[in-house]
Chain A
Amino acid sequence: MSMTTWNAMSGAARRFSPRLLLSELMMKQWFEPVIPFLVMIGLALYFAATIPDYASVANSVSLLRLFAEFGFVALAMAVCLISGGIDLSVGAIFAIGNFAALFFLLVLGWPTWAVIAATLAVGGVLGAFNGFLIGYLKARPFLTTLVTLIILRAAVNLLNGAYATVFATNSPDSAVWDFLGEGSVLGIPINAATLFAVLLVGHLFLSRSRYGWHLTAIGASRKAARHAGIRVRLILFAAYVLSGILCAAGGIFYAARQASTDSTTGVGWEFQALTAVVLGGVSLAGGKGTVWRAMIGAIIVFMLTNGLVRMGIPGYITSAVIGVILLAAVGIDVKWTKNRGKAVQKTYVNPAAMPLAPAPSVAAASGTPFAQNDRLIHAEAIGVDQVEGPEDVILDRQDRLYGSTRDGNIIRFSGLRFERREVFAHIGGRPLGMQFDKDENLIVCVAGMGVYGVKPDGEVFKVTDETNRTWYKLNDDSRLRMADDLDIGPDGKIYFSDCTTRYEMTTNTLDILEGRPNGRLVVYDPATRRTRTLINHFYFPNGICVAHDGRSVLIASTSLCKIFRHWLEGPRKGQTEVLIDELPGNPDNINRASNGDYWLALVGIRTPTFDLATRKPGFRLRMIKQVPTDEWLAPGLNHGCILRFTEAGEVLESWWDPTGISHSTLTSMREHKGYVYLGGLENNRIGRIKVDGADPAWTGYEAYWGAGRRDGR
Chain B
Amino acid sequence: MGVFDHLISDIRQILFPNAEQDAVPSMDGAFSPNDRLDACEQLGPPLPGADDIAVAADGTLYVSAGRDVIRLAGPAHGERSVVASFDGAAGGLAVHPDGRLLVCVAGRGLAAVHGGAGGAPQVQWLEAADGRPLHGLTGVTAGPDGRIFATVGSSRHPAERWLHDLMEKGRSGYLVGCDADLGAASILLDGLAFPGGVAVAPDKQSLWFTESWSHRVLKAPLAASSRLGPVDVVMRNLPGYPARLAPDGEGGLLLALVGVRTHLIEFVLREDDYRREMMANIPEAYWIGPALGGSHDCLEPMQIGSVKALGIQKPWAPPRSYGLLARIDTDGEVIESWHSRAGGHVHGVTAACETPAGVIVVSKGNGRLVIAREKSL
Interface residues of A (CB under 8 A from B): 362, 372, 385, 388-389, 509, 604-605, 607-610, 612-613, 616, 618-619, 622-623, 626-639, 658-661, 664-665, 682-685
Q: Which residues of A contact B278 (CB under 8 A)?
A: 608-609, 612
Contact of A385 among B3, B296, B310 (CB under 8 A): B310
Contact mask for chain B residues 262-287; partner A; CB cutoff 8 A; 1 contact, 0 none:
11100100110110011001110011
Partner of A658, one of B296, B310, B318: B296
List the 10 shortest-distance A-B pairs measured between CB atoms, nearest first.
A630-B305, A639-B298, A684-B310, A684-B311, A664-B308, A609-B301, A608-B282, A605-B298, A631-B318, A636-B298
Q: Does B6 contact A (CB under 8 A)?
A: yes
Cβ contact within 8 Å between B299 and A638:
no
Q: Judging by beta carbons under 8 Å apart, are B271 and A622 in contact?
A: yes
Q: A622 to B6, alpha carbons, bound, how many Å?
A: 10
Contact A682 B308 (CB under 8 A): yes
Q: Is the CB of A636 within 8 A of B271?
A: no
Please state if B303 and A607 are interface contacts (CB–CB under 8 Å): no
- 14 A–B contacts from the bound complex (CB under 8 Å): A607-B299, A609-B287, A612-B274, A612-B278, A622-B267, A627-B267, A629-B304, A630-B303, A631-B304, A632-B303, A633-B301, A633-B302, A665-B307, A683-B308
| Interface pair A626/B267, CB less than 8 Å apart | yes
Smallest Cβ distance from B6 to chain A, in angstroms?
7
Contact A389 B310 (CB under 8 A): yes
Are A632 and B304 interface neighbours, CB within 8 A?
yes
Q: Is the CB of B303 within 8 A of A619?
A: no
Question: Do residues B296 and A628 form an inter-chain contact, with CB atoms below 8 A?
Answer: no
With a cutoff of 8 Å between Cβ atoms, the chain B residues found around residue A660 in the complex are: 296, 308
Q: Does B14 contact A (CB under 8 A)?
A: no
Known: A609-B282, A612-B277, A612-B281. A362 touches B308 (CB 8 A): no
User: Does B288 sit at the interface, judged by CB under 8 A?
Assistant: yes
Give the nearest-CB partner of B305 in chain A: A630
Residues B309 and A682 in contact, CB atoms below 8 Å apart:
yes
Report yes or no: A638 in contact with B6, Cβ–Cβ below 8 A: no
Q: Which residues of B contact A661 (CB under 8 A)?
A: 311
Whether a CB of chain A sits under 8 angstroms from the CB of B300 is yes
Tell me if B310 and A634 are in contact (CB < 8 A): no
Q: Which residues of B contact A638 (CB under 8 A)?
A: 298, 302, 306-308
Give me the interface of B with A, judged by CB distance under 8 Å.
Answer: 3, 6, 262-264, 267, 270-271, 273-274, 277-278, 281-283, 286-288, 296, 298-312, 317-318
Q: Which residues of A contact B281 (CB under 8 A)?
A: 608, 612
B75 to chain A, nearest CB (A): 37
Q: Pick the contact of A607: B262, B300, B308, B317 (CB < 8 A).
A: B300
Distance in angstroms between the alpha carbons of A388 and B277 in the assembled complex: 40
Asked whether, in the complex, the Cβ of A623 is within 8 Å of the Cβ of B267, the reply is: yes
Contact pick for A619, options B271, B301, B302, CB 8 Å? B271
Shortest C-beta distance, A402 to chain B (Å), equals 19
A39 to chain B minimum Cβ distance, whole angstroms, is 29
CA distance A612 to B280 in the complex (A): 11
A607-B301 in contact (CB<8A): yes
CA distance A200 to B220 in the complex (A): 81
**Is A637 a contact partner of B310 (Cβ separation < 8 A)?**
no
A509 CA to B6 CA, complexed, in Å:
24
Residues in A with CB closer than 8 Å to B286 are: 607-609
Taking CB atoms, residues of chain B closer than 8 Å to A658 are: 296, 298
List 9 additional A-B contacts (Cβ < 8 Å) besides A608-B299, A633-B301, A664-B308. A607-B302, A609-B301, A610-B301, A627-B267, A630-B317, A631-B318, A658-B296, A665-B308, A685-B311
Residue of B6, B303, B309, B317 near A633 (CB, 8 A) is: B303
Which of the listed residues A389, A604, A636 has the most CB atoms from chain B within 10 Å of its own CB? A636
User: Closest residue to B308 on the A side, CB-wise?
Assistant: A664
Task: Point out the residues of chain A lying under 8 angstroms from B283, CB to CB.
Answer: 608
Contact B302 A637 (CB under 8 A): yes
User: In the assembled complex, which residues on chain A have CB atoms less than 8 Å from the CB atom of B317?
Assistant: 630
The distance from the CB of B80 to the nearest CB of chain A, in whole angstroms, is 30
Q: How far is the CB of A276 from chain B (nearest CB, A)?
A: 36
Instruction: Point out the residues of chain B lying under 8 angstroms from A613, CB to CB.
Output: 274
- Shortest beta-carbon distance, A347 to chain B, in Å? 15
User: For residue A362, which residues in chain B have a CB less than 8 angstroms away from its CB?
Assistant: 298-299
CA distance A630 to B304 in the complex (A): 5
Q: Is there an interface contact between B6 and A605, defined as CB atoms closer than 8 Å?
A: no
Contact in complex: A635, B302 (CB < 8 Å): yes
Question: Contact at A636–B300, with CB atoms within 8 Å?
Answer: yes
Question: Looking at the complex, which one of A388, A616, A629, A665 makes contact with B274 (CB distance below 8 Å)?
Answer: A616
Please measure, in the bound complex, the distance between the C-alpha atom of A685 and the C-alpha atom of B310, giving whole angstroms.
8
| B299 with A388: CB separation less than 8 A | no
B277 partner residues in chain A, CB cutoff 8 A:
612
Bound-state Cα–Cα, A635 to B274, Å: 17
Q: A613 to B317, alpha carbons, bound, how many Å? A: 21
- Bound-state CA distance A638–B301 (Å) is 11
In the complex, which residues of chain A have a beta carbon less than 8 angstroms from the beta carbon of B318?
630-631
For the complex formed, measure the closest distance between the CB of B58 and the CB atoms of chain A, giving whole angstroms: 44
What separation, in Å, do the CA atoms of A605 and B267 have in the docked complex? 23
Contacts A607-B300, A607-B301, A658-B296; is A631 near B311 (CB within 8 Å)? no
**Most chain A beta-carbon contacts within 10 A, residue among B264, B306, B311:** B311
- Chain B's closest residue to A641 (CB) is B298
Task: Please report the C-alpha to C-alpha distance between residue A344 and residue B301 in the assembled complex, in whole angstroms.
Answer: 30
Quick one: given A631-B303, A634-B302, A635-B302, are A682 and B310 in contact (CB under 8 Å)?
yes
> Chain A: which residue is nearest B301 at the CB level?
A609
Given A623-B267, A627-B264, A509 and B304 contact (CB-CB distance below 8 Å): yes
Report Cα–Cα, A619/B317, bound state, in Å. Answer: 22
- A609 cross-chain contacts in B, Cβ below 8 A: 278, 282, 286-288, 301
Give the distance in Å from the alpha carbon of A557 to the alpha carbon of B262 in the complex: 31
Query: In angstroms, how far is the closest chain A Cβ from the Cβ of B288?
Result: 5
Residue in chain B with minimal CB distance to A616: B274
Q: A604 — nearest CB in chain B belongs to which residue?
A: B302
Within the complex, the shortest CB–CB distance from B45 to chain A, in Å, comes to 23
Asked whether B267 lies within 8 Å of A618 as measured between CB atoms, the reply is: no
Q: Which residues of A contact B271 (CB under 8 A)?
A: 619, 622
Which A residues are CB-close (under 8 A) to B310? 385, 388-389, 682-684
Q: Separation in Å of the B82 CB from the closest CB of chain A?
A: 33
Say which residue of A607, A628, A684 sits within 8 Å of B263 (CB atoms).
Answer: A628
CB–CB B302/A636 < 8 A: yes
User: Which residues of chain A come closer than 8 Å to B288, judged between CB atoms?
Assistant: 609, 633
User: How far in angstroms is the closest Cβ of chain B from A633?
Assistant: 6
Distance of A613 Cα from B281 Cα, bound (Å): 13
Report how far A626 CA is from B267 CA in the complex, Å.
7
Give the nearest-CB partner of A639 in chain B: B298
Q: Provide the bound-state CA to CA distance between A431 and B321, in Å.
A: 35
Q: Smallest CB-CB separation from A585: which chain B residue?
A: B298
Nearest CB on A from B348, distance (A): 20
| Chain A residues within 8 Å of B273, by CB | 616, 619
> Within 8 Å CB of A684, what residues of B?
310-312
Find chain B residues with CB under 8 A from A389 CB: 310
Q: What residues of B have a CB within 8 angstroms of the CB of A635 in the complex? A: 302
User: What residue of chain A has the Cβ atom nearest to residue B303's Cβ?
Assistant: A631
Please report the C-alpha to C-alpha distance between residue A389 and residue B262 in the assembled complex, in whole angstroms: 28
What A residues does B282 contact at CB under 8 A? 608-609, 612
CA distance A388 to B311 in the complex (A): 10
Q: Are A627 and B263 in contact (CB under 8 A)?
A: yes
Chain B residues closer than 8 Å to A639, beta-carbon distance: 296, 298
Task: Give chain B residues whose Cβ lies under 8 Å from the Cβ of A682.
Answer: 307-310
Contacts of B263 in A (CB 8 A): 626-628, 631
Bound CA–CA A639/B286 (angstroms): 15
Taking a contact as CB atoms closer than 8 A, the residue among A608, A623, A637, A659 that contacts B307 in the complex is A637
Whether A619 pairs with B298 at a CB distance below 8 angstroms is no
- How far apart sit A534 and B317, CA to CA, in the bound complex (Å)? 40
A684 to chain B, nearest CB (A): 4
**Nearest opposing residue in chain B for A659, CB measure:** B296
Task: For A636, list chain B residues within 8 Å (CB).
Answer: 298-300, 302
Q: What chain B residues lie within 8 Å of A665 (beta carbons)?
A: 307-308
Q: Given the known A-B contacts A627-B264, A630-B318, A685-B311, are A618 and B6 also in contact in the complex, defined by CB atoms under 8 Å?
A: yes
| Whole-angstrom CA separation of A622 from B277 in the bound complex | 17
Chain A residues positioned under 8 Å from B306 (CB to CB): 634, 638
